[in-house]
Structure 1
Amino acid sequence: MADNNKAGYENTLLCVLFLTFGFVFFDRLALSFLFPYMSAELNLSNSHLGMLSSVLALAWALSGALVGAWSDRKGVRKPLLVIAVILFSLCSALSGLVTGFLSLLLFRGIMGLAEGPILPLSQSMMVEASSSHRRGLNMGLLQGSAAGLLGAVVGPPVLIHLAEAYGWRHAFIVSLLPGLLIAWLLWRYVRRDDPRPTPIIRDKEPGNRLALLKSRNIVLCTLISCVFLTWFVILISFTPTFLVTDRGYTPPSMSAIMSCLGAAWVLWGFVVPAISDRIGRRPTLVIFSLISACCPMALLFAPSPLILGILMVLTFTGLGCFTLFMSTIPAETVPREVMATALGMIMGVGELIGGFVAPTVAGFAADRFGLSIVMWISSSGAVLAALLSLFLKETAPSVLQRQPSSTHAIEGSYL
């Protein structure tokens, strides 16, 4: 009966957090999909788009790292999640009332502060409630498939329909209602659950946060986060505008292609982590990072919208990789006492470099050399992620159990 109760809560928590993080990306990506409608009215350029993406990422980086560490010390997660969802929903709605670039920049920055802690808090709760045999799958569904389904499959047609029918401002404003509903679901169904014992290799110095910087896996995951977020944020920020202005597609065609990208996001978001449960985290990350590098090239060279849509489904595999280096590998490397700190640091530094610096640089480069340059920058990020992944230490429990000296497969989290 106890096992059934734990399994029931595991599934309930997965469903609620799936909706929560999915809606985070619905709001985060709304700017990219609505930018072609906003740019003329607010007199915005590619540089402005890059800076808007960057300030949100900077806010994510700061709040994710700081709030994640604070929650580890205080043991508070559920109230923080509820407050964060309400706050970012309000800021997203207020984005529909802006009159210029500066006010939009302010609201996106505040929204980023609210959204930043949601991933490290959600994943640290999910890893504790997950069975060891489905840890990768659960975390992939939460981080990869949720964001893809609500942010990139549901988001484009809903937002573009609202923008076409009622204007882009209303598309932002209506996002408040589902945000309030999700905040209620968190308050009603999420509880603090005692972590079940898991066969994870733990550190010799639990609680020593400075020792995170000595861990090979944590340092490598942080570096991978920087370059892979460069791939993702540039791709997702500039692709809608690139398809409309450079490739000459209509907004409905752009929406259909972005939905193909979203379908791939949902599919690979859980398939990649599930594969890693079988063959290991490191080889999975290397293989699918290289496949991800092909996605920007498809956007550049695919001869027709139909072929491009097919290639999006086949090559947009990176969000499944995100679950591995941002959540699963760190969670299998560090003890519970510093888990949210580690996840927040990896996400925070990655957002700072790949989410804040890279889009701004790409935006200025696009204004000078054309939008095509951003696709080359994006592809380079995924290639670098594959190279860095080669040096990771394996953490998948099923793979370690097959090794003759599995107890020594990882020397400890702080190496």
Structure 2
Amino acid sequence: MNNNKYATYENVLLSVLFLTFGFVFFDRLALSFLFPFMEEELQLSNSHLGLLSSVLALAWAVSGALVGAWSDRIGKRKPILIVAIILFSLCSALSGMVTGFISLLIFRAVMGLAEGPILPLSQSMMVEASSPHRRGLNMGLLQGSAAGLLGAVIGPPVIIAMAEAWGWRQAFILSLIPGLIIAFLVWKYVKPDTASQSASQTAAQPVDQSLDGSADQEEPKPRGLKAYTTLLSNRNILLCTLISCFYLTWFVVLISFTPTFLVKVRGFEPATMGSIMSCLGVAWVIWGFVVAGVSDRIGRKPTLVIFTLLAACCPMVLLYSETPMVMGALVILTYTGLGCFTLFMATIPAETVSRGQIATALGLIMGIGELIGGFVSPTLAGFAADQYGLQIVMFVSSGAAIVAAALSLLLKETAPAVLARRNQAQPVADDTETNSPAYLRNNG
């Protein structure tokens, strides 16, 4: 009975958080899809688009890292999540009332502050509620498939259709409604203070334990700057942070400039551009759970390397494909990177650190990645596009993915099934690995 109860809540939580994070990306990517409609009225350039993407990413970086760590300390995530959803929905709607670049920049910055904590909060809640055998799949569906389905499959045609029918301002304003509905669903169906539930409630969940059987969450944990430096001293956390910087460069540069690139450089109509962007979304949804499932079987490290190299080909597809049909098909085959995001930004860190540090680690990796890959890179890419043409952004995106693949080669494996096979092959395992919280959680 209890196991059925926990399994039911696991599915309910996954569904609600799926909608939550998916709508975050619906709002985040709306500006890219609406930019061709608003640039003339607001007198915006490619540099402005890069700065708008960058300031939102900077806000994500700051709030994601700080609020993620704060939520670990206070053990309360649900009320923070509800406030964040309402706030970013309001800011997205207010983007439809701007009169120029500066006001739009301010609203996007506040929106980024609200959206930043949602990923570390959602993933840490999902880890708490997930059965061990479903952890990777749940996290992949939440972060990869949700963002792809709502942000890149449903988003482009819906946003573009609303802009063509009623104007880009109304398209922004109407985005408030689903945000308020999702906030209500979180309030009604998500259990409060998931991270601090009693031991009886978490019996069916992965629990970090030391060798003497005590829970690691009872051990004193470093706070403030020391917490971040301690995490970065861990090889996997440091590598995931660096991978995040380059992978977010690949993603943010690609997703920010592709709609304008397809219309201005490739000469496609807005409807054709929307269809190609939907192909990106289809790939996002598919690879979001496929990559996670493959990594459960062959390991996080080889999966990350293989699919990242494939993702490096996607910008070249957009640059050189001759027809929209060929481009769409190849995009679906090569836009694999968003499936990899769950690995370095959530699954590997969650399998590396103790439970009480998960939100802090996820916020740190996302925060630094957003700062470099989401803030610095699009700004530089925007200026480069104005100087050398929009084609340059595709080479920037592809090169960043290649660097991320090289860094992935240095990771230590964390997949439970792979570690279990290694343990069976080598009964006397290395003390460092077998004594780690992650190893005990995955195999104990």
- State if a TM-score over 0.5 links the two structures: yes
Percent identity at matched positions? 70
Distance of 1:200 and 1:302 partners within structure 2: 49
Match in the other structure for 1:334: 353
- Deviations along 1:13-60, whole A, 9 cap, x unmatched? 000000000000000000000000000000000000000000000000
Shift of 1:198: 2.1
Measured in 2, the distance between the counterparts of 1:364 and 1:175 equals: 30
Name 1:110's counterpart in structure 2.
110
Query: What is the deviation of 1:69?
Result: 0.5
What displacement does 1:289 show? 0.3
Question: Is the 1:13–1:126 contact (alpha carbons within 8 Å) kept by the matching residues of 2?
Answer: yes
The alignment status of 1:344 with 2:352, answered yes or no, reads: no
2:206 to 192, 198, 207: 198
**Counterpart Cα distance in 2 of 1:43 and 1:413:** 54
User: Counterpart of 1:403 in 2: which secondary structure?
Assistant: helix
Asked whether 1:20 is paired with 2:34, we answer no
* Cα separation, partners in 2 of 1:402 and 1:87, compared to 1, 3 Å: same
Asked if the contact 2:130/2:205 (under 8 Å) is kept, the reply is no
Distance 1:39 1:240, change over 3 A: same
Which residue of 1 is the match for residue 375 of structure 2?
A: 356
How is 1:219-238 mapped onto 2 (pairs within 5 angstroms)? 219-238=238-257
Give, in angstroms, the shift of residue 413 of structure 1.
7.0
- Which range moves more in the overlay, 129-138 or 188-197? 188-197
Q: Which secondary structure does the structure 2 equivalent of 1:178 belong to? A: helix
Matched, 1:58 2:77: no
- TM-superposed CA distance for 1:124, in Å, is 0.3
Within-5 A mapping of 1:54-203: 54-191=54-191, 192-193=193-194, 194=197, 195=202, 196-198=204-206
TM-score for the superposition, normalised by structure 2 = 0.91
Q: State the aligned residue count.
A: 414
Does residue 34 (structure 1) correspond to residue 46 (structure 2)? The answer is no
Once the two structures are TM-superposed, the CA of residue 211 in structure 1 deviates from its matched residue by 1.7
Kept in 1: contact 2:89–2:176 (CA 8 A): yes
Please identify the structure whose Cα radius of gyration is greater.
2
* Cα distance in 2 between the residues matched to 1:46 and 1:213: 35
Structure 1 SS opposite 2:313? helix
- Distance in 2 of aligned mates of 1:102 and 1:223: 31
Cα offsets for 1:74-115 (capped at 9, x unmatched): 011000000000000000000000000000000000000000
| 1:211 aligned to which of 214, 230, 243 | 230
Work out whether residues 200 and 333 of structure 1, in 8 Å CA contact, stay in contact via their aligned partners in 2. no
Task: Identify the residue that residue 49 of structure 2 maps to in structure 1.
Answer: 49
Kindly indicate whether the alpha-carbon contact (under 8 Å) linking 1:201 and 1:333 is maintained by their aligned counterparts in 2. no
Structure 1 gap ranges (5+): none
Tell me, in whole angstroms, the C-alpha distance in 2 between the residues paired with 1:413 and 1:218. 14
Instruction: Tell me by how many angstroms 1:293 deviates.
Output: 0.1
List alignment gaps of at least 5 residues for structure 2: 211-215, 439-444
Segment drifting more, 372-381 vs 197-206: 197-206
- Return the offset for 1:354: 0.1
Return the TM-score normalized by structure 1.
Answer: 0.97
Q: 1:2 to 1:271 in 2, by over 3 A?
A: same
Pick one of 252, 255, 259 that aligns with 1:240.
Answer: 259
Secondary structure of 1:392 counterpart: coil
CA contact (8 A) 1:282 1:390 kept: yes
- 3-state DSSP class of the match of 2:221? coil
